[in-house]
Amino acid sequence: MASSIWIQGHSRSGKTNRACQEFARWIRAGNFGLPEANDLPVGINNPDQPDDFERSIDPAIDPAPYEQGNRSSRSRLNNRINDRQLASQSVLTLSVNAKQRQKLNDRLTQIGNGQYPVTAETPLSFFRREVELYWPLLINLLGKVKNVGKIKAQFPIVLRVENEQELASEFWEEVLDQGTIAMPGVGRERLVRRMLDLFLLAANSGKSLDSFAGLGDRGIESLEGDQPPAMVWQEISKALTAWRHHCWQNGLLTYGIITDLYRYHLLPHAEYRARLAQRFRYVIADDVDEFPAIACDLCKFLLDHGAKGVFTFNPNGSARLGLGADPAYWLELEQEAETIETLEHSQSSSIAEVALAPILDLVIDPNVYPDMGGDFSNYSNLGTDFRDFRNLNDCTIAIETTSRAALLRQCADIVAEAINTAIETERVKPNEIAIIAPGLDNIAEYALREILSKKNIPFMPLNPQKPIVNNPQVRSLLTLLTLVYPNLGRLVNRDQVAEMLVVLSQVFNRSFGGGVNNNTELDNFGQENLAQDQFSQNSPAVALAAIGSTGQADRQTQPESAPTARSPITRLQSTQTTIDPVRAGILADHCFVPHPDQPRLLESKNYSQWNRLGNQVSYAYEQIRAWIEAQSSQLTPLLLLDRAIQKFFIPTNPSYDQLSTLQELIETAQYYWQIGYRLNWPEAEIITRFINLIRQGTITSNPYTPNMPDDSVIFASIYQYRMARGSHKIQFWLDLGSSLWQTSRAAFMYGAPLFRHDWDGQPWTIQREQEIDQRRLHDALQDLLHRTTDRLVFCYSELGTNGQLQVGSLSGLIDLATPIDQSVYAPPELETNAQNDQ
């Protein structure tokens, strides 16, 4: 095996920096296709000048090397630079997720001044790219597999998780009805999800589906039922094999199928192996304790064929241990590494130096520290361990309440006070505070957001994922589809129509806001919407990108011959909504005609007391109704959604969150129609499935945020915070008494321990599961403690949201911290109460 460096250390110990230094050394050594050092002009990455690798070789910045020779020498130098840039892409960098990949890529780009681009990937993105790139080769290989048959030569489509769940449930419907696959107490949807997760775990571990038959009764949960456990596992293997062949034949790829194709068909292929060894001569894998075993097989292959490697490993990491990570398998590379480096000290001070030992001791044995009644004057007489106890008391704060509602209120007050209080002559900024919870819930997020927003403190969840159906604009667009396309009448009701009228009429607010000029805009809006040939044909991306110049765009689209006569409507007073919910309900009750095939809207005058609506409401309603009637059912639904967004939402200047939600809706629609066309679904069936899918709430909007806002308090779960790889001055540990700190299954797939390479083949008992929970808690606590530098705030309420007493394994920590009324962070009202008590 070629030379490799194994770098290990705890969080924030500088492992990634050390890997970047090795990359810089490769540049200085003249690798990546560089000419010999003697042939280089002075100042261009000469290895005899250690700091010169950071200098730019752009002739506009450093023209000296280009002035030393004639035109031919400059041409040869340019060719060498181009060769060097091309050769530097032989460096394969692997990161745990997309954000960490971008961060690592930016750091390497900065080191090489943009002259050494590398191939930056996550393990899954690399497998996906390779499978798509070599898909023609895979078609020939898969056609030779038994019981598969001929595969069509069509470009593959990668299924999202929600689409995978939907299609797999339909494909296995007959098998599930027969009851040959059953797990006691597990519903159908959950069973399908478990089976798909088992497929992914098997692919990540490099195990075939045939190995399922050997699991027998050694699962996490017993499979007692009508069938013996061994037979159930065998049936699961057959069902997954049939599902895999079905996806092959239709050109559909899932995460599990992608990894399975790469491991068993692409990586063993001789031609691919030869090309792979030529393409990548260097590999940098950051945080390999989070990677699956299949990524280790890839790195082993590259090292065996002469590549140089740098691997970073955190012994207390493995946040993805239940999601396919296999740190024990990666330790095999440590035994074969040429150099092993251990980083002991953090790049910046953290409270782990004083808080780690006593916290872990108390988690192991809650009776390790006796009740001292808050008197630490004689702690030195109790041994060395109690010195750590006293140090822990100095750097931690305790917030203790009876109810969780009071805890959230007090936690937000302390956050505000911490930001407004000077500590060691420096103020704490909002982005230096993180609130970490074992499990996120809407109550905590809403309460903290509302309280902090009223105090003008920005607050943001770390990885917000809200169902797009929660957005009224999305629901209105779905209702709009049912009024344009036939045979969708059963998917709409009066309440949905009323909501659509309220939301779509908001575009008229600015037109009724007063002023003569606005009246011209209003009249032109009606004319534009009634003119079919004036609809924009722009793509959804262009429509959404127009948000920054909506006002100018609207004025430019007005015809030059627009009427200028004043209208009585402009004399109306502006209101918050053009069609308010009450009048929208009246219109829906009297002007909406339900029908299973073609529901429609009638004129507002069909309401006998139409004069009670008012001119403003009647006009807006008629404009919406006329726009709907002007649409043709022959129009592509994607184009209809695009036109509706441009006409009703873009002029209202939506916020970033609203814009990202609309973008997610358009992208989901485009993606879903591709699947429908691939599977030969009728157009009406695609629309029906799409509406039902969105309304189920499985589609979430994930706005792209390459960097965290600089002025926001972060709210995250333990898993989200650990994967973000950040650090803060102050951490708030919310719900300290919750049992979710130890037993949370948010980052755990069913059967995950059975597919790790360190599994000994013995039945997975409850006792072994508890041991894993304890180890996972220890790793999480160490990771969190190394990521805070100033204070740690324990937030504990005696009662949880459900009213039950909270007695989790971390409850005892509340007694080791300084009470909040004795802390510099205490709000004025708490200080006053404390003085009154004295």
Using CA atoms, how far residue 8 sits from 239, 320, 333, 466, 786, in Å, is 41, 17, 12, 37, 15
Secondary structure class of 461 (helix, strand, coil) = strand
Shared domain for 558 and 692, answered yes or no, is yes
The least confident of 347-351, 359-363, 537-541, 733-737 is 537-541
In a domain, 349, yes or no: no
CA distance 79 to 100: 33
pLDDT tens across 309-325, in order?
999 999 988 899 889 99
Query: Average of pLDDT values for 172-199?
Result: 88
In a domain, 735, yes or no: yes
CA distance 806 to 811: 8
The 3-class SS string of 303-340 reads: HHCCCEEEEEECCCCCCCCECCCCHHHHHHHHHHCCEE
In a domain, 426, yes or no: yes
Per-residue confidence (pLDDT) for residue 772, from 0 to 100: 85
Per-residue confidence (pLDDT) for residue 781, from 0 to 100: 92
Per-residue confidence (pLDDT) for residue 462, from 0 to 100: 85
Q: Which helix (H) or strand (E) holds 657?
A: helix 656-678
User: CATH number, domain at 51?
Assistant: 3.40.50.300
Shared domain for 480 and 448, answered yes or no, is no
| Single residue among 701, 735, 750 that ends a domain in this structure | 701
CA distance 500 to 494: 10
Buried b / exposed e along 14-26 (16+ C-beta atoms within 10 A)? bbbebbbebbbeb
In a domain, 288, yes or no: yes
Shared domain for 482 and 447, answered yes or no, is no
In a domain, 617, yes or no: yes
| Single residue among 284, 309, 343 that ends a domain in this structure | 343
Query: Average of pLDDT values for 373-382?
Result: 40
User: CATH number, domain at 715?
Assistant: 3.40.50
pLDDT tens across 593-636, in order?
999 999 999 998 888 887 788 888 888 999 999 999 999 888 89
Per-residue confidence (pLDDT) for residue 680, from 0 to 100: 93
In a domain, 706, yes or no: no
Dihedral, CA of residue 764, residue 769, residue 771 and residue 772, to nearest 10 = 100
CA distance 350 to 838: 35
Give every CB contact of residue 478 below 8 A, 6+ residues apart in sequence. Answer: 491, 496, 691, 694, 695
Per-residue confidence (pLDDT) for residue 547, from 0 to 100: 35
Q: Please state, rounded to an integer, the average pLDDT across all residues of the chain.
A: 79
Return the higher-pLDDT residue of 392 and 301: 301
Shared domain for 681 and 734, answered yes or no, is no
Per-residue confidence (pLDDT) for residue 210, from 0 to 100: 83
Query: Average of pLDDT values for 194-222?
Result: 80
Shared domain for 112 and 154, answered yes or no, is no
Shared domain for 202 and 255, answered yes or no, is yes
pLDDT band at 480 (very low <50, low <70, confident <90, very high): very high
For residue 703, the one-letter residue type is P
Return the higher-pLDDT residue of 374 and 323: 323
Which span out of 575-579, 589-593, 815-819 was modeled with the highest average pLDDT? 589-593
Shared domain for 284 and 261, answered yes or no, is no
pLDDT tens across 683-701, in order?
999 999 999 999 998 888 7
Which span out of 18-27, 50-59, 172-181 was modeled with the highest average pLDDT? 18-27
Give every CB contact of residue 565 below 8 A, 6+ residues apart in sequence. Answer: none
Query: Average of pLDDT values for 727-740?
Result: 91
Shared domain for 510 and 659, answered yes or no, is yes
Query: Average of pLDDT values for 828-834?
Result: 53
Query: Average of pLDDT values for 250-272?
Result: 94
Residue 248 predicted with pLDDT over 90? yes
pLDDT tens across 134-169, in order?
999 999 999 888 777 778 888 999 999 989 999 999
Shared domain for 687 and 774, answered yes or no, is no
The set of long-range contacts for 668-677, using a CB threshold of 8 Å and a minimum separation of 24, is: 668/468, 668/694, 668/699, 669/637, 669/638, 669/641, 670/540, 670/638, 671/160, 671/163, 672/163, 673/637, 673/638, 674/157, 675/157, 675/159, 675/163, 675/167, 675/252
Please choose, from the candidates 648, 584, 658, the residue with its C-alpha nearest in 3D space to the C-alpha of residue 621: 584
Total residues found in the chain within this entry? 838
The least confident of 186-190, 322-326, 814-818 is 814-818
pLDDT tens across 697-731, in order?
888 876 555 444 567 899 999 999 999 998 999 99
Percent of the chain with pLDDT over 70: 75
Give every CB contact of residue 194 below 8 A, 6+ residues apart in sequence. Answer: 183, 186, 750, 751
Return the higher-pLDDT residue of 766 and 449: 449
Please choose, from the candidates 252, 238, 166, the residue with its C-alpha nearest in 3D space to the C-alpha of residue 198: 238
Shared domain for 458 and 524, answered yes or no, is no
CB 247 within 8 A of CB 257: yes
CA distance 813 to 804: 19
In a domain, 354, yes or no: no
Shared domain for 397 and 445, answered yes or no, is yes
Which span out of 126-140, 390-404, 461-475, 707-721 was modeled with the highest average pLDDT? 126-140
In a domain, 351, yes or no: no
Query: Average of pLDDT values for 376-390?
Result: 46
The least confident of 119-133, 354-368, 647-661 is 354-368
Shared domain for 626 and 670, answered yes or no, is yes
Domain that holds residue 308: 4-127+268-343
Per-residue confidence (pLDDT) for residue 83, from 0 to 100: 64
For residue 615, the one-letter residue type is N
Residue 798 predicted with pLDDT over 80? yes
Residue 65 predicted with pLDDT over 70? no
pLDDT band at 758 (very low <50, low <70, confident <90, very high): confident
Give the total number of structural domains in the chain.
4
Query: Average of pLDDT values for 182-206?
Result: 89
| Single residue among 701, 722, 746 that ends a domain in this structure | 701
Return the higher-pLDDT residue of 493 and 63: 493
